[in-house]
Each structure stands twice: as C-alpha cells, then as structure tokens.
Amino acid sequence: MAALGSPLRTWRGLLRELRYLNAATGRPYRDTAAYRYLVKAFRAHRVTSEKLCRAQHELHFQAATYLCLLRSIREHVALHQEFHGKGERSVEESAGLVGLQLPQQPGGKGWEP
C-alpha cells in the first residue's frame, strides 16, 4: 500500500529542499555532507540484479520520509512566522486600533525620571 511514487520525484524533491536550506546560509548545496551522502546512496542502489529489491525499496522509503520531514519542517516554520510569530502589539499600535493616538509630550511625562 506504500504508494511512494517514482524515485526520481523523491530525488528532485530532496534536492529542492536542500537548495532551500542552503539558500539562506549562502553555501552551495552541493558542498553539504547531506548532498554527497544522498548522491552516493542513490547511485549505489540504482544498479541491482534483483527484480524486487528490498533494500532499494527501503532506501526509497527512507528518502521519502526524510523529504517529508524537511518539507513539513519548512512549511511549519513558514506557517509559524506568518500566523504566530508577530508577538504583542506595542502601545502605539494598540491605541491606533481604535483610532487614538498617544499624546506627544516633549518634556516627558511628569512621573518619569
């Protein structure tokens, strides 16, 4: 029942996620250890004489799981930033919600030092 799809799709998705991860840090993604390991693993399991290779299926499953992990972490962080990352409003913003403005007091408020 494990509908994994084609390995090529998983591979391209993994490359995409690695690109996103390394775009922010500025490093080329081909230098990362993760990229090198994935290339080695995918190449090593490509050629096999068996028709139904369990190790190939296992590797593909692990790759798809890792892809799901990277993708869902990225989307989770993006959702968090968009909806839950704003923090509290400042006093000026809260006053502006109801159309009020904090008064300008160039001499400072009386009770402040």
Lookup: tokens for 75: 């989307």
Residue 37 binding another protein, by CB under 8 A: yes
Cβ nearer to another protein, comparing 78 with 100 = 78
Interface with another protein includes 73 (CB under 8 A)?
yes
Does residue 31 touch another protein according to CB under 8 A?
yes
Query: Taking CB under 8 A as the rule, does residue 23 contact another protein?
Result: no
Which amino acid would we find at residue 66?
A: Y
When asked if residue 112 is in the footprint of another protein (CB under 8 A), the reply is no
Length of the chain: 113
Q: Are 22 and 32 in contact, with CB atoms under 8 Å apart?
A: yes
Residues touching another protein: how many (CB under 8 A)?
A: 37
Calpha distance 40→55 (Å, rounded): 15
Task: Tell me the closest approach of the beta carbon of residue 8 to another protein, in angstroms.
Answer: 17
Radius of gyration of the chain (CA): 26
Residue 73 or 100: which CB sits closer to another protein?
73
Binding status of residue 81 toward another protein by CB under 8 A:
no
With binding defined as CB under 8 A, does residue 52 bind another protein? no
Binding residue for another protein (CB under 8 A) from 6, 8, 26, 107?
26
What are the Cα distances from residue 12, in Å, to 30, 50, 91? 14, 25, 48
d(CA 96, CA 46): 62
